[in-house]
Structures are given as structure tokens and as C-alpha cells.
Chains A and B, each alone.
Chain A
Amino acid sequence: MGYALSRFEFRGRTIVDAIVDLPIVFPPLVAGLTLLVFFSQTAAGRWIQEDLGLEFVFQPKGIVLCQFLVGASFAIRSAKTAFDDVDCRYENVALTLGCTRWGSFRRVSLPLARNGILAGGILTWARAFGLFGPLMIFVGSFRGRTEVLSTTIFLEQSVGNLEVALAIALLLIFVALIALTTIRLVGGSTLVKL
């Protein structure tokens, strides 16, 4: 989708572009609330959960879905920025050298945008790693079931177990530092544009 937004002009492109950016702009809690309402209050959501048997609300699968939806915006945006940095002329030359459209994407655009995409991927992962609000609303925080590091901090702190909460917080800070350093090493320019 990042490549399509970068390269192609199509009807409704502006709207699609705006929708992709929505989760970046609105408060994270809204994402969780939207998912909760969708799966518990709408016919489509109930059909997915009950008829297809894909249960997300207060289930481990919900963690993945929630992190994917919030992270997807960052991933698409960073991929678009990375492809924007690759001039169309590279693809054009590849086309004259015998590539198909897919071949020019695979052999030229993707490798040239690789660092930007990688940096965006790390940033997306880091964002999903620290997600808290939407998860609390959509999947809750059940010990050993829908617990992630960020919600564990909340659980430990709420029962007065401050040492464990602090240890996990330090771990999160450490992971974030590694992620940000790696981003700068592999694709700093993309991060700056983000």
C-alpha cells in the first residue's frame, strides 16, 4: 500500500491517504474502543467472532490485531516515504532493460527502498511493543493470558509491586534505545521525514 500511495494516482487517493494516517493522529484509546465496539456491537464483528470462530475481544489474538492496526499506519507511512525517495527513473531504466513492472519493483525499487522500509519496520515494532491504552480496552490485562509488558507495568504497580514494574520499565527503555539506534544506523533519513 505504501508503494501504491507513492507511485500511483487513483481516484480517492487523498481519502485513502488520510484514512491511513488516522491512527497516528487520534488518541490510541480510540483505536481500542473502535475495535471493541466493532466486534461486540456490529453484525459484521459478531459474524467474524461467532460464525467464523475468530475471537478477538479479551483474547490473545486481539493483541495481535490491535498492534497490527495501530502499527500499520506507521509501516505504510514509512514505506511510502522510502519509495518516494526512489526516483521513478530507476524503474524506467529497469523497464527498458527487460523488466516487467513487478520485476522493476522487486529488482530495483524494493532494494533501493530497503533501508527506509527496515527503519520503518523497526519503528512500527517499537510502537506496537509499547502499546497500552487500546490493549487495555480491547483485550484487557489478564495474568498469563492477554498480558504484555506495558500492561504488566500497570498490573504490578497497581498491586504495589513497584520493583517489578520498574524493572520492566527499564527493559522497555532499553529496547526502545536499541530500536532507535538501529533505525539511525539503517535508515536515518527516513526517520527524520517521519
Chain B
Amino acid sequence: MIHTEELSCQIGAFRLDRVSIQIPANKYFVLLGPPGAGKSIFLECLCGLRTVDSGRIFLGQEDVTQTEPRLRGIGYVPQDYALFSHLTARDNVSFGLRVRRFPARQMTSRVQEVAQLLRIEHLLPRGIAGLSGGERQRLALARALVLEPPVLLLDEPVCALDEATRQEICAQLLRVQRQMQLTVVHVSHNLEEAFSVADHAAILHEGRLQQAGAMDELVRKPNSEFVARFVRAENILSGRVCTPPTEAPWTRVELSHAVLDVLGRHRGDIQFTIRPDQVLVLREGEHARHLQNHLELQLARWRDCGAYVRLELTGSIDLVAHITPAAFSEIRHCPRLTVVLPLQSIHVLS
């Protein structure tokens, strides 16, 4: 397990501010955040390329805060791969082995093994200049993996690749992580990328950790408006609790033009969210009037996104809903729609 305690690092006007994260061993961890959040700096602190101002870094039980990068046993692939253009692909892969003075025979077999794993045997005799983005990515990965590090840090590993190659590489990264039982920390600003690989994730913003946990938890239970917007919760609503505490397991909240119930007991002003795919959209009046949190709304706009249709609904409140194309074909000509916000799908932001 990788564990940071109150990690701080000042670079010019930017500050990585007291970041404490626990990254589970042998899991695929994605560090998310908008550009400039401090993700790459955090990664460089982990592998010892930046001196931290305060805080500690643990790899397993060992405090490695002051340990040199070469002694940390961490594989690192930077954003632009940084392949050594004065060496062939084979020499790039074997670089770490040569530095550590591995015997020639062992070096050859290790290079061959990792090349087979990443399916790059055909690239080994070539120079770096003519390689495509995907090939460079795989080669950089092979160079980091050849030393069999228990931890692999990937800084935006697929951001410069086209969509098809990105998906292919992400699948390969996940396969390699599972096969070698690595602890991977993958930096990205792309939520789809995180969905495709992550077991766990964390979100950084302006040098501060916003939330960390299982990927599903981040998406379903964001703890702040920033995280909710980052994970595209889209429906972020604000209101004021309008009933005194009762025995009921929910609280009634008054919005500007609507009243909704949310689970739990709350006071004062609250913010809550519901994911677009959790919003139920029905034809007006369709057996839903008895349900809690039903609203009469109109369809303002819609967009076919392939696997789902994105609806923008307007009325007493504005909402976004994602429904299947089949469901959309049934409601698309209805002038008014009944929209239900299931109580258990509403998440109150802390």
C-alpha cells in the first residue's frame, strides 16, 4: 500500500496542500482532477523527483520520504513518455537492467518477456523516431516494467492518443496490472478513462484532496459540489429544509418552485444531487402520482448520445435525465412528462 501523510510541496505560486491518501496494494488507482490540480506534482513526489516541504510517504511500512528515486522501486512513465532517442527501442527497454548491471543473458530474457507481455517484440530493433504514439506508450511502459517494480506510476498515459488506441492501451494497462499484481497510480483528467480502468480513485483540486474512495462511491456519493460537477452529476439542486424534524426517515426541502423529499434528517440550507441516469421519466400521469418526488416537467431539448438519450427538462426545476433510446421513443411526443426523483437516488452533499 502507498500512503501519504499531510504531503505538502510548494512550487512557485502553486502548493500541493497536506494531501493524505491511502492507495490500496495491487489495485488500479486513478488520480483525477482538472489541469493544474497538482496531479503530476503529487506523482513526482511519490517517485522522489520532487523534494517535499512537509509530510511523509510510505511504501508499505517503509517511510521513503527521503529515499532516492532509484531506491524506491517505483516504475514511472511520464506524460510524453520521454523515450531516449539516442537508443534503439531494445536499448530503451533494457536501460534499467543495464544501469543495474544485470547479466547479459538475464537481460535478454527479461526484455523478451516484457516485450511479449506488451506485444512489442517487432518494435525492439527499431529506432524511436518512426514509432507511433501507441507504440511509444507501450515501449515506455515496457521500460518501466522490465525492472518488475511493485508500484507503477503513469502520468496521463493515454492523453495524447486517439480514441481507439486509448481504449486499447487502457485495456492493456488493466490486463498487465492484473497479471503482474501491480499497484498502479494513473493520473488523468478524463472521467471515461477512469471508468475504464479504476478500482479506486481520488480527486484533486487546486492542490487539495477533495475525495478518495472506490470509483463507484465517488460517482454515487460525491462529498462536495466540485466533486459532483467533476463526476458529471449534472443535477445539483439547492434548497432549504422546510419541516421541523419528524419521525419520518426523510426531510422535506423547499426549492425555489418545488418541494422534494431527501433521505435523512437535515437542517437549514442543503445541496443535493441526483445522477441523470437515476431520474425516471414517464408519460404524464402514468401511474406515478402516488410516488414521492414526482414533478410535471416539459422536454426542452434532447440529444442522442448513442447508448442513451440526454434530455433537458424544464418546469418547476431544471433537470437533466439520461434514458434509453427505446424509452425515449415512447415519450418524445408527450407535451408534458412526469419525472420521478427516487428518494434513495438523491445524495445530499456534505
Select which of A99, A107, A114 is within 8 A of B70 by beta carbon.
A99
Give A168 to B75 CA distance when docked, in angstroms: 59
Contact pattern, B 54-79, Cβ under 8 Å of A = 1, otherwise 0: 00000000000000111010111011
- Are A96 and B74 in contact, CB atoms less than 8 angstroms apart? yes
Give A99 to B76 CA distance when docked, in angstroms: 13
- Are B95 and A94 in contact, CB atoms less than 8 angstroms apart? yes
Instruction: Answer whether A103 and B99 are a contact pair too, CB < 8 Å, given A92-B44, A95-B69, A96-B75.
Output: yes
Contacts of A193 in B (CB 8 A): none
B309 within 8 A of partner (CB): no
Give A112 to B83 CA distance when docked, in angstroms: 11
- Are A98 and B76 in contact, CB atoms less than 8 angstroms apart? no
Contacts of A11 in B (CB 8 A): none
Give A193 to B87 CA distance when docked, in angstroms: 25
- Are A93 and B70 in contact, CB atoms less than 8 angstroms apart? no
Contacts of B49 in A (CB 8 A): 92, 95-96
- Are B44 and A97 in contact, CB atoms less than 8 angstroms apart? no
Contact pattern, A 109-140, Cβ under 8 Å of B = 1, otherwise 0: 00110100000000000000000000000000
A34 within 8 A of partner (CB): no
- Are A98 and B99 in contact, CB atoms less than 8 angstroms apart? yes
- Are B96 and A97 in contact, CB atoms less than 8 angstroms apart? yes
Chain B interface extent, by class? 20 to 34
Chain B nearest CB from A36 CB (Å) reads: 44
Contacts of A95 in B (CB 8 A): 48-49, 68-70
Chain B nearest CB from A9 CB (Å) reads: 12
Contacts of B82 in A (CB 8 A): 87, 89-90, 92-93
Contacts of A94 in B (CB 8 A): 95, 99
Contacts of B144 in A (CB 8 A): 96-97
- Are A114 and B96 in contact, CB atoms less than 8 angstroms apart? no
B122 within 8 A of partner (CB): no
A148 within 8 A of partner (CB): no
Give A95 to B48 CA distance when docked, in angstroms: 9
B100 within 8 A of partner (CB): yes
Give A114 to B85 CA distance when docked, in angstroms: 12
Query: In the complex, how many residues of chain A place their beta carbon closer than 8 angstroms to a beta carbon of chain B?
Result: 18
Chain B nearest CB from A109 CB (Å) reads: 10
A108 within 8 A of partner (CB): yes
A14 within 8 A of partner (CB): no
- Are B85 and A92 in contact, CB atoms less than 8 angstroms apart? no
- Are A97 and B70 in contact, CB atoms less than 8 angstroms apart? yes
A181 within 8 A of partner (CB): no
- Are B80 and A98 in contact, CB atoms less than 8 angstroms apart? no
Chain B nearest CB from A104 CB (Å) reads: 9
A100 within 8 A of partner (CB): yes
Instruction: Answer whether A98 and B78 are a contact pair too, CB < 8 Å, given A90-B84, A108-B84, A112-B84.
Output: no
Chain B nearest CB from A188 CB (Å) reads: 16
Contacts of A112 in B (CB 8 A): 84-86
- Are B78 and A93 in contact, CB atoms less than 8 angstroms apart? yes
Contact pattern, B 25-68, Cβ under 8 Å of A = 1, otherwise 0: 00000000000000000001001110000000000000000001
Instruction: Answer whether A107 and B99 are a contact pair too, CB < 8 Å, given A96-B70, A98-B70, A112-B86.
Output: yes
Known pairs A93-B78, A112-B84, A112-B85. 5 more at Cβ < 8 A? Answer: A92-B76, A96-B49, A96-B72, A96-B75, A97-B99
**A-binding residues in B (CB < 8 A):** 44, 47-49, 68-70, 72, 74-76, 78-80, 82, 84-86, 95-96, 99-100, 143-144, 147
**B-binding residues in A (CB < 8 A):** 87, 89-90, 92-100, 103, 107-108, 111-112, 114
A–B complex contacts, Cβ < 8 Å, 22 sampled: A89-B80, A90-B84, A92-B78, A95-B49, A95-B70, A96-B47, A96-B72, A96-B74, A96-B75, A97-B95, A97-B99, A97-B147, A98-B96, A98-B100, A99-B70, A100-B70, A107-B95, A107-B99, A108-B84, A112-B85, A112-B86, A114-B86
The 10 closest A-B pairs by CB, nearest first: A97-B96, A98-B99, A96-B76, A95-B69, A89-B82, A111-B86, A98-B70, A93-B82, A89-B78, A98-B100
